[in-house]
Amino acid sequence: MELFKELLKHKIGVVSLSLILFLIFIAVFAHIIAPYDPFEIRVNEILVPPCLKHPLGTDLLGRDVLSRMIYASRISLEVSIVAIGISTLIGVFLGSIAGYFGGLIDNIICRFIDIMLCFPTIFLILAVIAYLEPSILTIMIVIGLTSWMGVARLVRAEILSLKERDFILAAKVYGASTFRIIFKHLLPNALGPVLVSVSLGMGQAILIESALSFLGIGVQPPVPSWGNMLIEGKDTLEIAWWLSVFPGLAILLTVLAFTLLGETLQEIINPKKIKQN
């Protein structure tokens, strides 16, 4: 709550948070807000440029681009929320074990993280997806499984710096179980940095999802996603600029909002430490 109050003092934080809330609102009420059915094909309205009736134009099948983009925001948010949920759970779990127990366990987990980081993410995701049928669920899981390393490192470092503190010692003397110490005493103190990485991670997950959909192995048409809408944009580059401009702009703004929110949170939690990557 205090974090939220602090956030309201930062102009950039307020703007990016409002943008994200606006996006969530659109995604939740997509079926009410969208002016047209995003799947409805209208043969007599193919490739209509932006006009009053269709503010962002129509696509090759005469579908309303604005309505499709509104529904796509739902998909993008769903994918990134689940993906980041998975990666945060894995990261927090492995990071806290590594940080708390140290020694061999820590060594093995750190080594595992290093090795995972050697794989260029896109190649790793592509290789895994090749063995699965492309579906929304698949990309959620695959993105989640390949993006937990940052959180794990972060949580590990937090726990390392916290575990020697007096209040943890007190809890130990008091006879608290390991489980209780980690989840009740250590992790809540690491919440801030985890929030930062969730926010930054959401942006990255949306980027990866849209890239995969653009490459034809993510969200499959006719289900709209900002990424797969751009496939059509590429094919009609010469005749219909609106098909490539608007969905891309939506991705850029959304990712920007999540990134800036994460940066602002980082600044609030730790004003001196500047993130270095």
Give the interface with other proteins as residue ranges (CB under 8 A). 111-112, 114-124, 126-133, 203, 207, 210-211, 214-217, 227, 230, 233-234, 237-238, 241, 244-245, 247-248, 251-252, 255-256, 259-260, 263, 274, 276-277
Q: How far is CA 28 from CA 22, 236, 246, in A?
A: 10, 30, 20
Q: Considering the complex, what minimum distance in angstroms separates the CB of residue 186 from other proteins?
A: 28
Q: Which residue number, 67 or 228, has a Cβ lying nearer to other proteins? A: 228
Q: Which residue number, 59 or 263, has a Cβ lying nearer to other proteins? A: 263
Give the whole-angstrom CA distance, residue 151 versus residue 88. Answer: 6
Give the whole-angstrom CA distance, residue 110 versus residue 94. Answer: 9
Q: Which residue number, 151 or 168, has a Cβ lying nearer to other proteins? A: 151
* HSE-up (13 A, CA, CB side) for residue 192: 18
Q: CB-based contacts of 147: which residues, under 8 Å, 6+ apart? A: 83, 84, 87, 121, 201, 204, 205, 208
Q: Which residue number, 24 or 126, has a Cβ lying nearer to other proteins? A: 126
Burial class (CB in 10 A: 0-12, 13-18, 19+), 104: exposed
Q: Considering the complex, what minimum distance in angstroms separates the CB of residue 274 from other proteins?
A: 5
Q: Considering the complex, what minimum distance in angstroms separates the CB of residue 66 from other proteins?
A: 18
Q: Which residue number, 182 or 208, has a Cβ lying nearer to other proteins? A: 208
Q: Considering the complex, what minimum distance in angstroms separates the CB of residue 120 from other proteins?
A: 4
CB atoms within 10 A of CB 129: 18
Q: Considering the complex, what minimum distance in angstroms separates the CB of residue 124 from other proteins?
A: 7
Q: Considering the complex, what minimum distance in angstroms separates the CB of residue 236 from other proteins?
A: 10
Q: Which residue number, 96 or 138, has a Cβ lying nearer to other proteins? A: 138
Report how many helices (DSSP H) and strands (DSSP E) the chain contains, helices first. 13, 0
| Residues forming beta bridges with residue 64, ordered by sequence position | 58
Give the whole-angstrom CA distance, residue 67 versus residue 105. Answer: 50
3-state secondary structure of 51: coil
Q: Which residue number, 99 or 227, has a Cβ lying nearer to other proteins? A: 227
